[in-house]
């Protein structure tokens, strides 16, 4: 099928472009990009895209899938549908499934299931709500995103015994992480030494669990006011400092996950200035909300690491803009209603986000002019891909069409019938949002 997108706002971080163009797409490739395209075949589908945004497909560094083991929270199918609805063309799931993704056999099994899912969408890779959901404005030809698997660093992500890293690398994992804090620094050092020749990304979540203790909220006046056990910023910063020392000694490139404090941004910026081979990410909710939001005691605001104080949020935003923080991760963490209906401190930490991140980040960062559209799109697409050792193509002729079409003004309500994810653990449930993905190509 040939499509002509007329007068669409092209946001391309690769070419540093934010301009209005006509874009011709055919057979999975961008055929032409120009101020006006008139030489087209008679069967070309023409779409008026005034007011719409076209950018590279979004890339999520890490999120949780319920399947295998917790299919009541999320299946691979619903996960991929939610990702496509959120504008993502590549996603990577963390290994803390049940069983854990810590052996080549499970990697092969999940890859086969993924391939079967793609074949099940037909020759054109079509994906739609079908009988499950019928109310989405997402174009029915939007394909499922490319699914990557993180391989576990330790057996059962228990932090004790290393997995067969070379075998997992050969099986095709995108990189290595436990997605949980690894506090045995001797083990971390050995992992960095073993991984050096494999050339795969490795991601760590630095967090001192002894300092975290039973805390559920960032230490500060709001934690005192709300009567919730605090977590000091030093639980994160001391662990990051130790990680940076190991990277300086061993030299293996490392990705630092879930950065959430102002001091962490300072440490990472200094390490990058010194030439350490590190990248870093924060999550989308840590850029939007601070500890004041916890006043509602909504259990979907119980995150780990916790939401920061206002100073932390300001530093994270500045860090993303300056490049100290490379990427914005979604860290989609679905839980069932029954699991989340508890007291704040007892509820499991995490919230969904694949379908919510782009509209909310655009609304609160781009429309307020705190971020440029290029800065946000870069942190959600090209930079996460680079953290995974991948590239994103420019929006230019003869390049693959891996794209997201977004309407920043389209209103929609966050409710069960409008979400692809099987879970609804989000503080925005029941609220009216502005901004919706219309179509993806990949």
Rg (CA), the chain: 21
Q: Please name every residue paired with 150 in a beta bridge, in sequence order, or none if there are none.
A: 175
Geometric angle at alpha carbon 182, from 66 and 277, rounded to 5°: 100
291-to-134, 219, 365 alpha-carbon distances in Å? 37, 9, 18
Paired tokens of 374: 């290029």
DSSP 172: T
Beta strands in 207-350 (DSSP E): 217-218, 230-231, 254-256, 278-283, 327-329
Count of beta carbons in the 10 Å neighbourhood of residue 435: 22
Residue 331 annotated among the catalytic residues of the structure: yes
Answer for the pair 278, 253: CB distance below 8 angstroms, yes or no. Answer: yes
CA distance 305 to 350: 9
* Residue 280, helix vs strand vs coil: strand
**Comparing C-alpha atoms, which of 270, 257, 241 is closest to residue 202?**
257
- Work out the burial of residue 59: count CB atoms within 10 Å of its CB; fewer than 13 is exposed, 13-18 middle, 19 or more buried: buried
Catalytic-labelled residue, pool 102, 178, 312, 331: 331
Chain-centroid distance, C-alpha 256:
14
CA distance 400 to 29: 4
CA distance 106 to 99: 8
Count of beta carbons in the 10 Å neighbourhood of residue 25: 21
- Work out the burial of residue 22: count CB atoms within 10 Å of its CB; fewer than 13 is exposed, 13-18 middle, 19 or more buried: buried
Residue numbers annotated as active site: 331
């Amino acid at each position: 099928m040939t499509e002509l997108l007329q007068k669409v706002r092209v946001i391309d971080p690769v070419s540093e472009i934010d301009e209005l163009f006509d874009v011709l797409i055919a057979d999975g490739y961008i055929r032409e990009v120009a101020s006006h395209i008139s030489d087209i075949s008679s069967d070309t589908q023409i779409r008026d895209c005034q007011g719409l945004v076209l950018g590279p497909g979004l890339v999520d560094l890490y999120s949780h899938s319920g399947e295998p083991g917790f299919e009541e929270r999320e299946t691979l199918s619903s996960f991929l549908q939610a990702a496509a609805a959120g504008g993502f063309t590549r996603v990577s799931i963390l290994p803390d499934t049940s069983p854990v993704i810590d052996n080549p056999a499970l990697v092969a099994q999940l890859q086969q299931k993924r391939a079967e899912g793609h074949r099940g969408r037909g020759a054109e890779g079509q994906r739609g709500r079908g009988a499950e959901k019928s109310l989405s404005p997402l174009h029915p030809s939007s394909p499922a995103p490319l699914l990557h698997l993180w391989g576990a660093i330790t057996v059962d992500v228990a932090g004790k015994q290393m997995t067969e890293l070379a075998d997992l690398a050969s099986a095709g994992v995108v990189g290595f992480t436990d997605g949980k804090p690894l506090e045995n620094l001797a083990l971390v050092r050995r992992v960095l030494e073993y991984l050096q020749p494999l050339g795969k990304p490795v991601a760590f979540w630095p967090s001192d669990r002894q300092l975290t203790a039973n805390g559920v909220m960032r230490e500060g006046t709001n934690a005192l006011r709300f009567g919730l056990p605090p977590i000091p910023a030093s639980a994160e910063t001391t662990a990051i400092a130790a990680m940076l020392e190991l990277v300086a000694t061993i030299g293996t490139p490392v990705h630092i996950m879930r950065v959430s404090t102002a001091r962490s941004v300072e440490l990472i910026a200094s390490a990058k200035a010194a030439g350490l081979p590190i990248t870093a990410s924060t999550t989308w909710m840590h850029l939007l909300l601070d500890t004041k939001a916890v006043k509602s005691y909504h259990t979907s605001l119980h995150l780990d690491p916790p939401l920061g104080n206002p100073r932390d949020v300001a530093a994270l935003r500045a860090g993303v803009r300056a490049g100290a923080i490379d990427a914005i991760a979604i860290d989609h963490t679905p839980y069932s209603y029954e699991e989340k209906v508890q007291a704040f401190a007892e509820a499991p930490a995490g919230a969904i986000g694949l379908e919510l991140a782009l509209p909310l980040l655009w609304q609160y960062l781009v429309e307020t002019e705190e971020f440029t559209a290029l800065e946000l799109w870069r942190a959600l697409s090209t930079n996460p891909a680079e953290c995974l050792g991948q590239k994103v193509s420019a929006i230019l002729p003869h390049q693959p069409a891996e794209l997201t079409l977004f309407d920043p003004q389209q209103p929609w309500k966050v409710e069960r019938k409008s979400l692809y994810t099987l879970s609804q653990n989000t503080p925005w449930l029941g609220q009216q949002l502005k901004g919706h993905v219309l179509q993806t190509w990949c």
